[in-house]
C-alpha cells in the first residue's frame, strides 16, 4: 500500500499531515497513520492483550517512563484485575472538544457514549493504550490526558475514581483520579471507551 493510500484510509488531509509532522517533531507520520484514525472528534484504535498481570503492567509501564500513582498501583494489583491473552479490543476515544466546557462531566460524557453504543473500558485495555501509544502520537491526536471510562472504582479513601493517563509533560503518569460531583474535565482530555 502506498503512503498516499495509507493517508487516504486514515482520512488525513494535506493540512493535517503537515500539522502532525510539525507537532511530532519529525516522527514518521507514515507509520503513525495506520495505528489510529480520527473522524468527527472520535479517535479509533485497537489493542491486543498478551496475558500481562497487573503487577507486571506496573513494571512494563515504568520501563516506558511512566510514574504509577499509589492508588493506580492498588487497582493493578487488585484481585479484580483479570488479564486476557489474544483479545483485541476496539477503542473509541471521544475528544474533549466534542463537549461544551460546562458539559464536560462524567455524567454527560457517559450519556454521549451510551448514545454512540460505547461500553465501559477494561483496566487491562487502559494499560495497553498507555503502553502502545507514545506521547508524540497523543500530541498528534491533540490529547494530553486520557480518562479511561471504566466502572467507577473506589480508591482506598472510598472516593469513586477513574484511571487517568497524563501525557501532558515529559513524564507520563498513570493515576486514579477522584470523581467529584459537578467536576468538569479540561478540553485537552480524551475519554476512552470500548466500541
Q: How confident is residue 18, by pLDDT bands cut at 50, 70 and 90?
A: low
Residue 139, pLDDT score: 81
Q: What is the pLDDT of residues 58-110, one digit of tens each?
A: 999 999 888 999 999 999 999 999 999 999 999 999 999 999 999 999 999 99
Element of type H or E holding 21: helix 14-23
Residue 6, pLDDT score: 36
What is the mean predicted confidence (pLDDT) over 9-38? Answer: 57
- Asked whether the beta carbons of 30 and 6 are under 8 A apart, the reply is yes
Domain ranges of the chain: 1-34, 36-194
Residue 169, pLDDT score: 65
Q: What percent of the chain has pLDDT over 70?
A: 79
Residue 39, pLDDT score: 93
Q: What b/e sequence results for 151-176 when a residue is b if at least 16 CB atoms lie within 10 Å of its CB, and e otherwise?
A: eebebeeeeebbbbbbbbeeebbbbb
Q: How confident is residue 26, by pLDDT bands cut at 50, 70 and 90?
A: low
**What is the average pLDDT score of the chain?**
83
Q: What is the pLDDT of residues 144-183, one digit of tens each?
A: 889 999 998 888 888 888 999 987 666 788 888 876 656 7
Q: Compute the 3-state secondary structure of the chain and give helix, strand, coil in percent, each to the nearest 5.
A: 35, 25, 35
Amino acid at each position: 500500500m502506498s503512503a498516499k493510500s495509507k493517508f487516504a484510509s486514515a482520512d488525513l488531509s494535506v493540512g493535517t499531515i503537515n500539522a502532525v509532522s510539525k507537532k511530532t517533531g519529525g516522527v514518521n507520520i507514515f507509520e503513525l497513520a495506520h495505528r489510529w484514525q480520527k473522524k468527527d472528534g472520535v479517535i479509533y484504535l485497537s489493542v491486543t492483550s498478551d496475558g500481562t498481570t497487573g503487577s507486571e503492567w506496573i513494571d512494563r509501564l515504568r520501563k516506558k517512563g511512566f510514574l504509577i500513582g499509589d492508588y493506580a498501583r492498588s487497582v493493578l494489583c487488585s484481585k479484580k484485575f483479570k488479564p486476557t491473552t489474544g483479545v483485541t479490543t476496539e477503542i473509541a476515544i471521544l475528544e474533549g472538544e466534542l463537549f461544551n466546557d460546562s458539559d464536560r462531566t462524567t455524567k454527560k460524557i457517559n450519556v454521549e457514549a451510551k448514545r454512540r453504543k460505547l461500553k465501559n473500558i477494561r483496566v487491562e485495555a487502559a494499560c495497553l493504550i498507555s503502553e502502545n501509544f507514545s506521547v508524540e502520537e497523543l500530541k498528534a491526536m491533540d490529547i494530553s490526558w486520557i480518562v479511561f471510562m471504566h466502572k467507577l472504582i473506589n480508591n482506598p479513601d472510598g472516593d469513586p475514581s477513574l484511571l487517568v493517563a497524563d501525557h501532558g509533560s515529559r513524564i507520563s503518569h498513570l493515576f486514579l483520579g477522584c470523581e467529584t460531583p459537578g467536576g468538569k474535565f479540561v478540553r485537552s482530555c480524551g475519554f476512552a471507551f470500548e466500541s
